[in-house]
Chains A and B, each alone.
Chain A
Amino acid sequence: MATAAPVLAPGAPAALGAFTASAGPGRTRLDLHVPAIRCAGCIGKVERAAAAVPGVTRARVNFSTRRLAVEWADGTLAPDAVPAAVIAAVEAAGFEARPFAPQDAAATAADPESRRLLKAMAVAGFAMMNIMLLSVSVWSGAEAATRDLFHAISALIAIPTIAYAGMPFFRSAAGALRRGRTNMDVPISIGVVLATGMSLFETLTSGPHAWFDGVVMLLFFLLVGRYLDSMMRDRARAGVAQLMKSLPRGAMVVGPDGASEWRAIDEVAPGMRVLVAAGERLPADGVVEAGRSAIDRALVTGESRPEPAAPGTAVVAGTLNLDGPLTVRVTGVGEASFIGEVVRMMEAAEQGRARHVRIADRASRLYAPVVHLLALVTAAGWLLAGAGWHFALTTAIVVLIITCPCALGLAVPAMQVRAATLLARRGLLLKDGSALERLAEVDTVVFDKTGTLTLGRPEPVGALPLAGDEAAEALALARASRHPLARALARALAGTAPAVLFDVRDVPGLGLEAEGPGGPVRLGRPDWVDPALAVTAGPDELVLAFRSGGGPARLLRFADPLRPGAAEAVARLEAMGLAVQILSGDRAEAVDAVADRLGVAVRAAAQSPADKLAAIGALAAEGRRVLMVGDGLNDAPALAAGHASMAPSGASDVGQTAADLLFLSDGLDAVPEAIAIARAAGRGVAQNFALAIGYNLLAVPIAIAGLATPLIAALAMSSSSLIVVGNALRLRPARAAGPVRAVRA
């Protein structure tokens, strides 16, 4: 689990001005990422905390994107004072707040695409209703001048609407044609343009049928599908953190004269010396020059045991400095660091995944030639049969409108939005619809160990062997340390009142010592607390020792516990016909202990990020479709390479970015649940396609025969769209898994 480390070193404010933006004349705006906003109360707390800062005129939380926008008037205070005060106020309220770098802010801004689609949908909806109003009169028998007038008014409403609301389709079709390809939008655009032209001609020549209502209705239904799709992508993107955000944005650089100064991360260069306080993440790769401490690498390498660090130890950016301050000589920053390399590997792996062709696109490859051929054959057939040019062309265009993929355009997005809602209710965030399609095809599940199968935080094994006042003294010492075992001990002893100890000292690399009533009290490495203490611990366990004065030394054993429901989840996956494997960066003993308990036979330990990537590649080469479940930075390339991937919400930022789905719950039952929902959605999409094709089989013969009227088209289109949406709402996962825990997405 990521420990909430202060992002900005003390003295940081000087650089905060870089994160602000202008919000109109005389006003400045700062966007902060506040990931811990999870409830209604949080919104109020964060907003009130930020609004209470002097000078702030507006503080507004966007819950969907977990961001806080703060505005203040310029000139009342020093430009950098407000951001620092706001961050301090929000953190004092108990929420971690991080500034967005300008490039991140752009990447996470609400997608203007969604807004554009929503507006286009509104315009099409308005036009559809008004044209329908006029069409109903025509259908019910308006004649001669009245009919012509109604057609003319319809044209006046429809033509600007088609020009505006049809733009997303025209643009996408033009883009595809320019690259020499076709997509679903090409037949749509051709159909819309031809039908509009034909209707205009009919209107001008006082013809009996104008198809403006059908064209606008078609656009409306298609835009609904597009908007649903785009909305789902936005929602998922908001749930996913930005790349590398937990890397410190700056570092305390020690100058040649010994004075230290806060610099933004861009200004940190190899060869500089940086100061890393206890509890901070390392800003860059480097070598320790001074200080002793322990480094928690769990999020970076998957190792569950903190590593000691002393002068000469190489350290990696993103790892957490636990015990004491370190001076580190920087060897690699940003792109050149270990993280940069992992990100490069991940990006390379992602390109392979782009080969997946979405179901809708596969369908459109078949669909477009068939429909165009059908229209051509219709025109040719009627000409041969002796009908006039006008009738043959009109009938062919009607075939194009009738077959236009109203229901097809809704078949996939409606089902995927429904599935995403079901997933969100179970605490699963889906990044895009294509992930759902890929997840349904998975046949092998590969788990990382630390943080994925396990919770990634140590907990005491059995009851703590502490008697009487020892518990109170141990708690007092444990509270003074950031070491993960000390924190676990403090959590386990939470109900106890801590003893009052004097002169608590942190002995870097060894433990904590204080003066107790009966002599020195120590908590730390067993060989330091009492060299005579016999250490008996399982292979996946970590130990601490505690001794109060002259009393006996106590051995405290800790293990990283399995996630709740891990064994059930593995069993259920196997029952679903999936092969399960473990791929971990941790020591072999620790991996074996977990794998044996879960009954997973195929396992590999001590895997580097490149090893994991290669292992996934090998499985893919065997023709398997792999679901990778992992959390660490070291899993990121494998997550990107997997056919589909999942990460727990406590995952490293890079891991979250690489994964298709995030699960917010502690329990591992989210994994089989997600696959079950994805499979159910896959079946639903197939049903929807069958329904849409069935509708075409009914309607197309009528159109080819020249019997279709605008009334028939309107009825057929709206009813088939409603049926498809109704079928999507029917979606339930194959097995209702007990009482559903409501987790807000």
Chain B
Amino acid sequence: MTGLALLIPLALCAGLIGLAAFLWSVRAGQYDDLDGAALRILDDEEDEAP
């Protein structure tokens, strides 16, 4: 039982971190231009800081 007390919060924490990272990426607009992201990699010229 002591194992559970440690592992369950740990599992939840790991899940929450993943969720927070995902929500951040949505808010930062990373899902707004999926087609563009696929094409940008093909642009050979050096990009200045976007």
Q: Which residues of chain A have a CB within 8 Å of any CB of chain B?
A: 39-41, 43-44, 47-48, 51, 58, 60-65, 110, 115, 118-119, 122-123, 126, 129-130, 133-134, 146, 153, 157, 744-745
Contact = CB atoms under 8 A, between A and B. Distances in A.
Contact of A44 (B12, B26, B45): B45
Contacts of B1: 146
Nearest to B34: A64
A63 B19 contact: no
Interface in B24-50: 26, 31-36, 39-43, 45, 47-48, 50
B17 to A, nearest CB: 10
The size class of the interface chain B forms with chain A is 20 to 34
B39 A40 contact: yes
Nearest to B31: A118
Contacts, number: 65
A41 B43 contact: yes
A61 B36 contact: yes
A115 B26 contact: yes
A130 B11 contact: yes
Chain B: interface secondary structure?
helix
Contacts of A118: 26, 31
6 contacts: A40-B43, A43-B39, A47-B50, A60-B50, A146-B1, A157-B12
B42 A40 contact: yes
A134 B36 CA distance: 40
Nearest to B50: A60
Contacts of A64: 32-36
Chain A: interface secondary structure?
helix
Contact of A126 (B15, B32, B50): B15
B6 interface: no
A43 B40 contact: yes
B8 A63 contact: no
Contacts of A745: 35
Among B16, B18, B43, B47: residue with most chain A CB under 10 A: B43
B45 A63 contact: no
Nearest to B43: A44
Contact of B33 (A41, A62, A119): A62
Contacts of B12: 130, 157
B10 to A, nearest CB: 11
Contact of A63 (B15, B16, B18, B33): B33
8 shortest A-B CB distances, which residue pairs?
Answer: A63-B36, A40-B42, A40-B39, A44-B43, A126-B19, A62-B33, A64-B35, A122-B22
Contacts of B48: 48, 51
Given A126-B15, A130-B11, A62 B26 contact: no
A60 B26 CA distance: 17
A745 B31 CA distance: 17
A126 B36 contact: no
Given A64-B35, A118-B26, 14 more contacts: A43-B36, A43-B40, A47-B50, A51-B48, A61-B36, A63-B35, A64-B32, A64-B36, A119-B23, A119-B26, A126-B18, A129-B15, A133-B11, A157-B12
